[in-house]
Amino acid sequence: MSTKVTTPAGLHCSTLQAVAAERQFQDAIITTIAEFAKNLSESQQIEILKFVLNFDSEVILRKGSNRRSQPFVLVLMKTMLQVAEQYQCSTISNALHPEFLKNLLRGVAVDKDPAIRIYVQKLLHTLMDRNHNSAKLMKVRIYTQEESLSDELQCQSPDMQDILFMKQTGVLLTENLFWQLLESSNKVDNLEHVCCTISLIALEMSADEVLLELFRLLLAVQEKVVPGGSKESASLPQTHRCAVHAIVASQMTLLVKLLKDRAPAALCEHIYGVIERRGQDAPHLLPKVAFNRNNTQGSYPADFKITDELLFHQGKISNILEDNHFDVSGLDIFSA
């Protein structure tokens, strides 16, 4: 009588086959749900997204939970992303329903797995990007004074529904982006995706109220990552802090460009003055160096110091905007 013995190699082969079959099954489910959603109305597609998100019973309590299934969460995120790709956004408030946004940003968006957090940002991009700007916004860069945004990017005209959305629900987005930028487990890809999200909010909802809210976000983040600024900053590696400063610089120049002819000359002078000074004395605080994947330790100074002239000054920005009749009542407050 012969006995069949499973060798380690055979066991390994069997395991690989099982994994491949499982992935094939998952892909089939994702594709089927996406195809089903393709023929639904906008509101029904959003309901599908809410259903898929809520299918994970631990989604709201995901932060700090030890009872999670990362592969399962990734399947959920891939499913939502494919469904979202069928969605044609008309208004941001419809795409980002408050209940859905709250569960998303306070659930999987704060997962410890950087890959899952990237999927969350991709989902936000897909839902918000009415003008197909996302791919062009993935590169973190400085928007120069001379260039015209309209040559490359499409800017959405301010819409009252979008303004109301930001007033009522936008705090969920800005709070999440604030903490996303300070997350110590971020990879370069995470930071690039978060930067793209900020850019999309600015481009898709470019009303003054929204742009001022983003100024507030950027100034609050900058305050956290200056040396000695916070406990969060102290735990971040130098490369991460430089990348965050570079994102702040990038988005400051984008916001100034979006203000167009309403941008006070003094504000442009301050923003681009800081950029110029960094180019001379601290290039590691600008995207060209901070987001160069070929960097070495020698690309950064041995002693991480930032002088005042290398920072965007909240008081100066606030005074300039106020002198030019912008409402800056909330610019110095961040309650994240």
What average pLDDT does this structure show over 275-280? 97
Helix spans in 67-207 (H): 70-84, 92-95, 98-105, 114-128, 134-137, 160-168, 170-182, 188-204
Q: Which residue from 253, 224, 244, 226 is spatially nearest to 290, judged by alpha carbons?
A: 244
Which has the higher per-residue pLDDT, 262 or 187? 187
In this predicted structure, the answer to whether residue 295 has a pLDDT above a threshold of 80 is yes
Q: At a CB cut-off of 8 Å and minimum separation 6, what does 284 contact?
A: 242, 290, 299, 300, 301
Q: Determine if residue 64 is left, alpha or beta; phi over 0 gives left, psi from -120 to 50 gives alpha, anything else beta.
A: left
Q: What is the DSSP letter of 118?
A: H
Between 52-61, 74-83, 311-320, the lowest mean confidence (pLDDT) is in 52-61
* pLDDT for position 12: 62
Q: What are the residues whose beta carbons fall under 8 Å from the beta carbon of 4, sequence distance 6 or more?
A: none
pLDDT for 59: 46
Q: Residue 52: its pLDDT value, please?
A: 73
- Asked if residue 336 has pLDDT above 80, the reply is no
Q: Which long-range contacts (CB under 8 A, 24 or more apart) does 264-269 make?
A: 264/320, 264/321, 264/323, 264/324, 266/320, 266/323, 267/317, 267/320, 267/321, 267/324, 268/145
Higher-confidence position of 311 and 236: 311
pLDDT, mean of residues 89-98: 82
If pLDDT is split at 50, 70 and 90, which confidence band does 57 have? very low
Question: pLDDT tens digit string along 203-225?
Answer: 999 889 999 999 999 999 999 99
**Interval 127-182: pLDDT, tens:** 999 899 999 999 999 999 999 998 889 888 878 888 888 888 888 999 999 999 99
pLDDT at residue 10, rounded to an integer: 53
Predicted structure pTM score: 0.85
| pLDDT digits 0-9 by tens, 250-266 | 999 999 999 988 899 99
